[in-house]
Amino acid sequence: MTIVAPAHPLTDAEVRRIKADFPILDQQVDGVPLVYLDSGATAERPRQVLDAERRFLEHDNAAVHRGAHTLAARSTDAYEDARATVAGFVNAASPSEVVWTANATDALNLVAYGIANASRGRGGPAAERFRLEPGDEVLVTEAEHHANLVPWQELALATGATLRWVPVDDTGCWTAADALALITDRTKVVAFAHVSNVTGMVAPVAELVTAAHAHGALVVLDACQSAPHRPLDVQELGVDFAAFSGHKMLGPNGIGVLWGRQELLDALPPFRTGGSMITTVTMEHTEFMPTPERFEAGTQPVSQAVALAEAVRYLQAIGMDRVRAHEEHLAQRMLTGLAAVPGITVVGPAAGVARSGLVSFDVDGVHAHDVSQYLDAQGIAVRSGHHCAQPLHRRLGLTATSRASTYVYTTDEDVDRFVRAVSEVRGYFRADGADA
């Protein structure tokens, strides 16, 4: 048996070399160097990605899968080469298992509305495997991003199925045991985030996949906070569908990825229709292309796909094991620092427990938006709000939290500046009980 040594976090020198690739990070905010800790919302882009998209637009840009001229051929090759690159990144069995979408939200809706179409008879006999009806159940968790909750609410309303959810505890986390207790023969879909965008919790994927498949249920993985930050091997995970977005992993806006098992994509009816995804159209009837084209109606995100592929190559050059190790190191450094600050409550796994490189927290007596504005005045960019996870915040008794999220360009110094600034917040707002 081959024993793989744990990956080491990036060294300070390596992170600084990486950070130099990001032009946007070389600026000051309010007279101090920018510390960008909002990568969980949108990551910045290195020169290599910016140059790849610009180079394509300046030399190869044309409609794909349409023309016979030279630029059309080059564009089509670049578009499909990008698909193959992303397929390799997640260890898909074939590039045809990768569907380009507008974003991860779009990808999750594609699955949910495809199942809804199958449930009303679209797709023929092959799509019967997706049919939902009253008595069936869809299982999510109370910690989901709205993008992996609302589509399933809509699916339940459309089919008469029941939406159920795994409850979270007082830290915002849930357990495999709680999930397994809710998976039964009535369960048809189990959908959950690989990594929570609020707590940083890493889901027990293997246990849920085993249980769901034992009961004949599909597993849909929201990989938005895992694909950019840790190795994502869809075959090893055993899930049926996975969704992630380009803009969270050093790539452009306007492109997302749906990965699905080939046999499932071939059977799933499309829900968005139009040009580019058809073989034959008459005034009475339409035949659709095979996957992945059947799900890519309209003008395709060609330059975005090219840029996303370059982002993938950039991450692969670093090594996803080292990306994960670097961010886990930063998260523990952040947790240790915040633990020494009075009046700070961190949600999610405790220090020492594996989590992604993001930390959400509440400052006693100070609203999250005020925290964010104070940090911004110190040149530190964080996210504030409910992070598109209102049910989770409601369960925790919070209207909002502040969230600091790291990436490959985040240094130890960035984290230390952040902790120092947070330690000043309650005093600045006179929420620490000290006299003015």
Handedness of CA 391, 393, 397, 398 (dihedral sign): negative
Annotation marks residue 224 as catalytic:
no
Query: What is the distance between the terminal CA atoms of the chain, rounded to a whole angstrom?
Result: 65
CA dihedral of 180, 146, 148, 372, whole degrees rounded to 10: -90
User: Rounded to 5 degrees, what angle do the CA atoms 193, 198, 200 make?
Assistant: 70
Annotate 13-81 with three-state secondary structure: HHHHHHHCCCHHHCCEECCEECEECECCCCCCCCHHHHHHHHHHHHHCCCCCCCCCCHHHHHHHHHHHH
* DSSP at 241: E
Helix or strand (DSSP H, E) at 331: helix 320-339
Beta bridge partners of 32: 29
Rounded CA separation 132/373 (Å): 46
Identify residue 352 by its one-letter amino acid code: G
Nearest one of 214, 206, 210 to 185, comparing CA atoms = 214
Identify residue 152 by its one-letter amino acid code: W
Under the phi-then-psi rule, with left for phi > 0, alpha for psi from -120 to 50, and beta for the rest, what region is 60? alpha
Nearest one of 137, 122, 133, 151 to 241, comparing CA atoms = 151
* DSSP at 69: S
* DSSP at 29: E
Can you read off the two tokens belonging to residue 373?
């504005």
278, 388, 398, 431: the catalytic one is 388
Rounded CA separation 384/403 (Å): 6
Q: Which residues are catalytic?
A: 388
